[in-house]
Structure formats: structure tokens, C-alpha cells
């Protein structure tokens, strides 16, 4: 506990009265305990570092709205709700604070490197008023590391006061380095992170936006796989979805649609061959029930796939995953042909169609609130933070506290419920 410090840096003393007249104000002294099992009576004033700052508008702000310049960038892969966040930030800055200069950085962090030639666009309420009905990002995105010093040079040349970064763990690491360089230069600029990862694997964040939409889309794919599996003798529906290092989407989609018989996630290794391997158990399932549905996360079973040489990485430094869906399809077909058993396998990979759809109602609400709380934090002069849900409360979290991957707890209640729902063995290893 002592190693965790949730204090949020501030650029200076906020002395300007907020122009907001139709809302409550949140005090910096109102906090939520990091550990809910601690008792307030046992805490001393020096224990404030183990509690989290509640998000919301402040009565006194740091930046003069008439002089404030803001910029927003979206990085990494697409996720439902990005446009909702952009819209919310622009609307809150414009209508709640009267900020007139809001810049949209095109194509991720590339837009802050002049050599790429991406032009900055002016974001206005009229421009963004309808973008929440669109998938993707009107600013577009990119992957890959860019020079921190060059990006800060560009932000300074734009006279940026508040920089909003929308992205996942890689984006948040870059945002933290940008904030550190800004601090080193003694520049008055706030850096605010808005967490975006469809895999829902950012540390301490209850959920990231786009996750609820992804679940509803995966449920549709599961329903189709189930129909296909039941529509032919010894039918198998195999669905591969997102989840590089964690299986949160697989878990929640499985519980939302109880047609899955095998839920395969990165956190739980499995084998294919042998008495307790997946293929043998799948054969037993088919002989007993005549159909089966398999849901696999893209990062599951990577140790089973042929390596074919050194691991390759993408522009962001992420290891390029082997296609576990295609590999499973091939191995299942080979197995049943070998034992001369009838089967009908249908393979479904809806990953990119899930990422690019507009946000559903639940995510739309979440994105709207995240954008508003991000604006309130920036205008108050807070920096180097991420806004997000923690234990059901909107809070400010230091950027460095969220960048590690949040894994599925394979001894936790949610995974136990998945095992009960699917009926699969707790271990498929010999």
C-alpha cells in the first residue's frame, strides 16, 4: 500500500472562478479509498496517498477559458465510442467553459511530427455535433513510437494549454513521457488521458469505453455460430475475437450468451492432444450433444502455434500474434478426419467489424461522462492523469498507475461462473 501514491500533480493554484453555473462542484478533499477494507477512522492525514481523487467540476479553475487552447489526439486501434469522446470534450470545452480554440491532431501521434505532413483541424461544436453516430475516429489514428521532444515542440508551437490523449496502455505510456518532458521544460501544459482499449485490460479501470459494445457484437457472433453448429450434423461453431493478453471479452460474452461450450483465454493455457486435451474433450461433446461452440481470444494458445522463426512486432512494438483461430480450425479438421468422424465446422472472425461500429447506448453514456470529467480536470490545472471508473466512481488516476495489463483472475468468481456456464474442465492440460 505504501508504494502506491495516487496524488495528482497540479500546475499551480487555481484562482479563477469557474464559469459553470448549473452544476455542483467537487472538492479535492473528497476521495475514495483505494482499498475498500480500510476504515476511515484508522487513516491519518498522511495516508491520503492511498485514496483517489474524485472527478468533477471544480469551483476554482486554473486556466482562463478565453485564453485556453486545447488539443486532442486518438491513438492505437479503433474502438466503439472514440467519436463520442471527441464530441464530449469539444462540447464541454465550448459550452461549459467557453473555450474557442480546440485542435484535432490527425493520425495519432504522427500528427505532432511535422515531417508526416498531417494538418491539424479545428474542432467546433458544429463540426462534431453528429459524429457520435459514426464508428471509428474522425481524427483517424496510427500506431508506432514518435519522438517525445518533437511532439512537445509541436504542442508548444501551437501554444497548447491542455492536451487530451485518447488511447490504450501504449498511448498512456507516451502521454506520461510527454507530461514528464513538459515538466522538465517548465511549460504550463496539462496532459489528460482518456483510457481506450477494447480488451478492457487497463489496470485499476473498471471498464474502458467500447467494451460494452464489443460484448453485444460478440454475442451476435456467438448466436450465429450456435445456429450454424446446430444446423448440421456434428456441427462446430468456432469464433475468434479480440483479447491479446487478457480474456475479459470472452468471459463477459460467454456469460451474456450461454451457448458457448469452450471459452479459451490467454490466462489459461490448454493442450490439444491427449486424454485431457481440447480435441478429445470436443470429440466427447460432439458424440453426446451433436454440436459445440468454441470462443477463443486472439492471444490464447499462442504457445501451440508454429513459431516459424523469431517473433515479429508491429509498429507499436507489440508482438504479432499467430492466428489461433485459423490454427484451431486446421487442427480440428485434421483430428476428425484422422479418426474418420463426421464434422461440420464453421469459422467466424468478426474482430474488425466489432472495432469499427458506433458505440451502443451504454458506451455512449460512458464516453460522454469521460469527456466531461477530462475537461473539468484539465481546466482545473491537473495533469499527468487518467479519468476513469474505479469501484463505480469517476476518479483521477496517475497515468503510471493504469498502464500495466489487467488480467483475468482465474481463481476469481467471474472465471468460476464461466466454467459453470460452459461445463468445460477447469484444466485442459495432461
Angular region, 355: left φ>0, alpha ψ -120 to 50, beta rest:
alpha
pLDDT-derived band at 2 (thresholds 50, 70, 90) equals very low
pLDDT-derived band at 308 (thresholds 50, 70, 90) equals low
Q: What local confidence, expressed as pLDDT, does residue 110 receive? A: 97
Phi, psi values for residue 294, rounded to 5°: -115, 130
Q: What's the CA gap between 396 and 6, in Å, rounded?
A: 8
pLDDT-derived band at 309 (thresholds 50, 70, 90) equals low
Q: What local confidence, expressed as pLDDT, does residue 351 receive? A: 85
Let me know the angle formed at the C-alpha of 236 by 232 and 241, rounded to the nearest 5 degrees: 135
Q: What local confidence, expressed as pLDDT, does residue 45 receive? A: 45
Q: Listing from the earlier edge strand, what are the strands of the sheet with 51-54?
A: 31-33, 51-54, 393-398, 385-390, 190-195, 162-167, 69-74, 101-105, 121-122
Task: Compute the average pLDDT of residues 3-16.
Answer: 89
E strands within 159-242?
162-167, 190-195, 235-241
Residue 134: DSSP 8-state: S
Q: What percent of the chain has pLDDT over 90?
A: 82
Q: What percent of the chain has pLDDT over 70?
A: 93
Of residues 39 and 122, more confidently modeled: 122
Contact 62, 376 (CB under 8 A): no
Q: What local confidence, expressed as pLDDT, does residue 143 receive? A: 86
Asked whether the predicted pLDDT for residue 183 surpasses 50, the reply is yes
Phi, psi values for residue 224, rounded to 5°: -65, -40
Task: Compute the average pLDDT of residues 284-288.
Answer: 97
Q: What digits encode the pLDDT tens for the residues 58-117?
A: 999 999 999 999 999 999 999 999 999 999 999 999 999 999 999 999 999 999 999 999
Q: What local confidence, expressed as pLDDT, does residue 4 receive? A: 67
Q: What's the CA gap between 243 and 67, in Å, rounded?
A: 43
- Rg over CA atoms, the chain: 24
pLDDT-derived band at 311 (thresholds 50, 70, 90) equals low
Locate 185 and state its grid cell: 521544460
Catalytic residues: 199
Give 247's contacts (C-beta < 8 A, 6+ positions apart): 263, 264, 265, 266, 267, 268, 297, 299, 300, 408
Q: What's the CA gap between 59 and 62, in Å, rounded?
A: 10
Q: What local confidence, expressed as pLDDT, does residue 49 receive? A: 61
Residue 307 CB neighbours (<10 A):
9
**Mean pLDDT across the chain, nearest whole number?**
92
Among the listed ranges 19-33, 57-71, 268-282, 393-407, which one has the minimum average pLDDT value? Answer: 19-33
Q: What's the CA gap between 98 and 87, in Å, rounded?
A: 15
Cell 463505480 belongs to: 392
Give 85's contacts (C-beta < 8 A, 6+ positions apart): 74, 166, 194, 196, 209, 367, 370, 371
Q: What digits encode the pLDDT tens for the residues 320-379?
A: 799 999 999 999 999 999 999 999 999 999 988 899 999 999 999 999 999 999 999 999
Residue 372 CB neighbours (<10 A):
22
Asked whether the predicted pLDDT for residue 413 surpasses 60, the reply is yes
391-394 contacts: CB < 8 A, separation 24 or more?
Answer: 391/32, 391/36, 391/206, 392/206, 393/32, 393/52, 393/54, 394/54, 394/55, 394/56, 394/369, 394/370
DSSP per-residue codes, 94-110: IIIT---EEEEESSGGG
DSSP per-residue codes, 242-274: --SS--HHHHHHHHHSTT-SEEE-TTS-B-SSS
Q: What digits encode the pLDDT tens for the residues 86-97?
A: 999 999 999 999
Q: What's the CA gap between 382 and 385, in Å, rounded?
A: 7
Q: What local confidence, expressed as pLDDT, does residue 405 receive? A: 82
Q: What structural domains does the chain harbor? A: 16-208+358-401 (3.40.50.450), 213-356+410-422 (3.40.50.460)
Q: What local confidence, expressed as pLDDT, does residue 338 receive? A: 96
- For residue 410, which of 395, 423, 427, 396 has the smallest C-alpha distance? 427
- For residue 399, which of 160, 208, 112, 191 has the smallest C-alpha distance? 191
Asked whether the predicted pLDDT for residue 411 surpasses 90, the reply is yes
Phi, psi values for residue 222, rounded to 5°: -65, -45
Length of the chain: 430
Q: What local confidence, expressed as pLDDT, does residue 147 receive? A: 96
Q: What's the CA gap between 327 and 254, in Å, rounded?
A: 21
Asked whether the predicted pLDDT for residue 386 surpasses 70, the reply is yes
Amino acid at each position: 500500500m505504501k508504494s502506491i501514491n495516487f496524488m495528482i500533480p497540479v500546475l499551480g493554484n487555481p484562482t479563477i472562478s469557474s464559469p459553470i453555473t448549473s452544476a455542483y462542484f467537487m472538492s479535492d478533499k473528497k476521495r475514495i479509498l483505494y482499498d475498500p477494507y480500510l476504515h476511515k477512522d484508522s487513516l491519518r492525514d498522511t495516508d491520503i496517498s492511498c485514496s483517489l481523487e474524485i472527478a468533477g467540476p471544480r469551483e476554482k479553475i486554473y486556466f482562463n477559458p478565453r485564453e485556453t487552447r486545447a488539443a486532442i489526439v486518438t491513438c492505437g486501434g479503433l474502438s466503439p465510442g472514440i467519436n463520442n469522446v471527441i464530441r464530449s470534450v469539444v462540447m464541454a470545452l465550448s459550452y461549459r467553459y467557453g473555450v474557442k480554440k480546440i485542435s484535432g491532431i490527425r493520425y495519432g501521434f504522427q500528427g505532432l511530427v511535422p515531417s508526416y505532413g498531417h494538418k491539424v483541424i479545428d474542432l467546433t461544436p458544429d463540426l462534431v455535433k453528429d459524429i457520435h453516430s459514426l464508428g471509428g475516429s474522425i481524427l483517424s489514428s496510427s500506431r508506432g513510437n514518435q519522438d517525445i521532444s518533437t511532439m512537445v515542440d509541436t504542442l508548444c508551437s501551437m501554444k497548447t494549454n491542455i492536451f487530451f490523449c485518447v488511447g490504450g496502455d501504449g498511448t498512456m505510456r507516451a502521454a506520461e513521457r510527454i507530461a514528464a518532458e513538459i515538466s522538465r521544460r517548465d511549460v504550463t501544459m496539462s496532459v489528460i488521458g482518456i483510457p481506450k482499449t477494447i480488451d478492457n485490460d487497463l489496470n485499476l479501470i473498471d471498464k474502458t469505453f467500447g467494451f460494452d459494445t464489443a460484448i453485444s457484437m460478440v454475442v451476435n457472433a456467438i448466436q450465429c455460430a450456435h445456429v450454424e453448429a446446430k444446423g448440421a450434423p456434428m456441427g462446430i461453431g468456432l469464433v475468434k475475437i479480440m483479447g491479446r493478453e487478457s480474456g475479459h471479452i470472452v468471459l463477459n460474452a460467454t456469460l451474456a450468451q450461454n451457448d458457448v461450450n469452450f471459452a479459451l483465454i490467454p490466462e489459461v493455457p490448454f493442450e490439444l492432444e491427449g486424454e485431457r486435451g481440447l480435441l478429445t474433450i470436443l470429440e466427447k461433446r460432439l458424440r453426446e450433444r451433436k454440436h459445440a461452440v468454441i470462443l477463443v481470444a486472439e492471444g490464447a494458445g499462442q504457445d501451440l502455434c508454429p513459431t516459424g522463426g523469431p517473433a515479429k512486432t508491429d509498429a507499436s512494438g507489440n508482438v504479432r500474434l499467430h492466428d489461433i483461430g485459423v490454427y484451431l480450425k486446421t487442427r480440428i479438421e485434421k483430428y476428425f478426419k484422422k479418426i474418420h468422424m463426421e464434422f461440420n465446422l464453421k469459422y467466424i472472425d468478426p474482430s474488425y467489424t466489432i472495432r469499427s461500429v458506433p458505440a451502443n447506448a451504454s458506451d455512449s453514456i460512458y464516453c460522454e461522462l469521460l469527456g466531461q470529467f477530462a475537461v473539468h480536470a484539465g481546466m482545473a490545472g491537473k495533469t499527468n492523469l487518467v479519468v476513469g471508473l474505479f469501484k463505480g466512481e469517476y476518479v483521477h488516476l496517475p497515468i503510471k498507475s493504469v498502464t500495466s495489463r489487467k488480467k483475468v483472475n482465474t481463481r476469481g468468481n467471474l472465471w468460476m461462473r464461466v466454467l459453470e456456464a460452459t461445463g468445460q474442465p477447469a484444466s485442459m492440460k495432461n
